Amino acid sequence: MSWPAGTQCVAKGDHRKPRSGELVYNKGDILTIVDISPRKGYYKARHNTSGEEGLINSSSVRERDALRVDPRLSLMPWFHGKISGPEAVGKLQPAEDGLFLVRESIRHPGDYVLCVSVSGGVIHYRFYSNNKGSIATILLKPKQKQGTKSAELELSKTGWLLDITKLTLGENIGEGEFGAVYEGDYMGQRVAVKTIKCDVTAQAFLQETTVMTKLQHKNLVRLLGVILHKGLQIVTELMSKGNLVNFLRTRGRSVVNSVQLLHFALDVCEGMEYLESKKLVHRDLAARNVLVSDDHVAKVSDFGLTKLDSKVSDKAKLPIKWTAPEALKKEKFSTKSDVWSYGVLLWEIFSYGRQPYPKIPLMEVKEKVEGGYRMEAPEDCPPGAYALMRVCWEQEPRKRPAFHKLREKLEQEIGKCTPGPGSEPQGEIRSGSGC
Ligand code: ADP
């Protein structure tokens, strides 16, 4: 067995009395492999939360699994849907005090019934309140619906379930479509916490989170884990400079030069090249979904719509100005439709966060673009960058370049603008003279 650098491992047990050079950790802690060690059976590793580095014995950790995308993974495995009272009683056999399930009432749709096994019988509570006194027994054991898997159990087995007592929530730093985003601290690490309160949405997001557990790249916002409390809380690395649109709008040309813009473009492109290699389609690539780290690295976020297949569920929600014509018309999503969106994102970058298709009413954009209309180059945009936008906007998806080709072109562009090694000025963001 050999683990490459970057592999994430979970500690199988506590290791509190280290020998010299060894890392201290507790059961369940996540450790990242840094290098192999000359000591046989050992690796050099970094503790994900304390940041400390040291040796670990490979037999005392296991590789952190990715969660499998499993539609049966349920946040509410005790919810049995619309079943009758007698059916619920049948499911709560053999009787066991505290065994419970929740069902939707057949006679009163929208009403929920808590059914609990007590002293050999089953009590049905139409209106469940938190008031413990009103229930004849403690809810001891959820009766799992057949065919579901408890998300909580799966998440904890794979090391993606975080401990809420170790999380401190800070300021609100953003509003998502489904809930607020907070800054926070998880065992000394600065994190962002996205809260999703509604159970149904949380369930949908859980599936998306399972996609994120498989992805690790320097230009994708990294998932640290989730917390199941009041819905779902998704904990990711903190991107302290916020989203790219606001970043560029609030700084403008006087602070950010075109080389720095090219670096942001390259960052996003590399993240997308990685998604492309995993055969994943983002579907909602736009500057608002790119976040900027403390050290000005741009990372793609918001995998809310990322899907392995190419069918879309809700056409009305598509971001028209960013979506490729074939995706808008025939729901054909592909890496090449992501490339189209990437072209729009390039336009956003080089216009310092302007809204695309300025002055054109949203209703008219689709038709105009289908008729061959394309946006003009943003003011002072390097011609090389505009040429890239135009190839991304080829009507014919297969004529658009792949992300690895775009990356090569961007690297050339950066090469043209950056003076040779040794003579780079040190700028606030990333250096380069500008084109
Ligand atoms: P939604 O996709 O539901 O609109 P987002 O995930 O885009 O929600 O989050 C909304 C806003 O919260 C973002 O535009 C950004 O400003 C902030 N935000 C989200 N995730 C992070 C993060 N990891 N670090 C810093 N800020 C974040």
- Structural domain including 105 reads 73-142
Q: Are 417 and 365 in contact (CB under 8 A)?
A: no
pLDDT greater than 90 at residue 74: no
Q: What is the distance in A from the centroid of ligand 1 to the CA of 216?
A: 19
Report the distance separating Cα 7 and Cα 62, nearest Å.
10
For ligand 1, what atom is nearest to the CA of residue 237? 23
Kindly state the average pLDDT of the residues 275-284: 90
Name the pLDDT band for 71 (thresholds 50, 70, 90). Answer: low
Cβ(204) – ligand 1 distance below 6 Å: no
Report the distance separating Cα 264 and Cα 296, nearest Å.
8
Report the distance separating Cα 275 and Cα 402, nearest Å.
12
| pLDDT tens digits for range 119-175 | 999 999 886 445 555 777 888 888 888 877 777 877 887 788 888 999 999 999 998
pLDDT greater than 70 at residue 4: yes
pLDDT greater than 60 at residue 424: no
The CATH number of residue 119's host domain is 3.30.505.10
The CATH number of residue 53's host domain is 2.30.30.40
Report the distance separating Cα 387 and Cα 341, nearest Å.
15
**Cβ-count burial 338-353 (b if 16+ within 10 Å, e if not):** bbbbbbbbbbbbbbbb
Q: Are 193 and 167 in contact (CB under 8 A)?
A: yes
Residue 397 lies in a domain: yes
Cβ(291) – ligand 1 distance below 6 Å: yes
Residues 206 and 327 placed together within one structural domain of the fold: no
Report the distance separating Cα 134 and Cα 285, nearest Å.
50
pLDDT greater than 50 at residue 334: yes
Whole-model pTM? 0.77
Q: What is the distance in A from the centroid of ligand 1 to the CA of 175?
A: 7
Residues 269 and 390 placed together within one structural domain of the fold: yes
Domain end among 20, 40, 63: 63
> CA-CA distances (angstroms) from residue 245 to 193, 200, 380?
20, 30, 18
Q: Which one, of 16, 180, 148, lies nearest residue 77 by Cα?
A: 148
Beta bridge partners of 174: 181
Q: What is the distance in A from the centroid of ligand 1 to the CA of 301?
A: 8
Other Cβ atoms less than 10 A from the Cβ of 58: the count is: 19
pLDDT greater than 70 at residue 331: yes
The CATH number of residue 357's host domain is 1.10.510.10
For ligand 1, what atom is nearest to the CA of residue 175? 10
| pLDDT tens digits for range 166-213 | 999 999 999 887 889 999 999 888 999 998 876 667 777 777 777 788
Tokens read off for 288: 């608002």
Choose, from 29, 267, 284, 338, the residue flagged as catalytic: 284
Cβ(300) – ligand 1 distance below 6 Å: no
For ligand 1, what atom is nearest to the CA of residue 221? 23
pLDDT at 386: 98
Cα dihedral 80, 83, 85, 89 sign: negative
Cβ(180) – ligand 1 distance below 6 Å: no
Residue type for position 74 = S
**What does 34-85 look like in DSSP terms, one character per residue?**
EEE-SSTTEEEEEETTT--EEEEEGGGEEEPPPPP--TTEES-TTEEEE--H
Residues 271 and 348 placed together within one structural domain of the fold: yes
pLDDT greater than 70 at residue 2: yes
pLDDT greater than 60 at residue 305: no
Total structural domains within the chain? 4
Residues 257 and 338 placed together within one structural domain of the fold: yes
Cα dihedral 326, 329, 334, 340 sign: positive
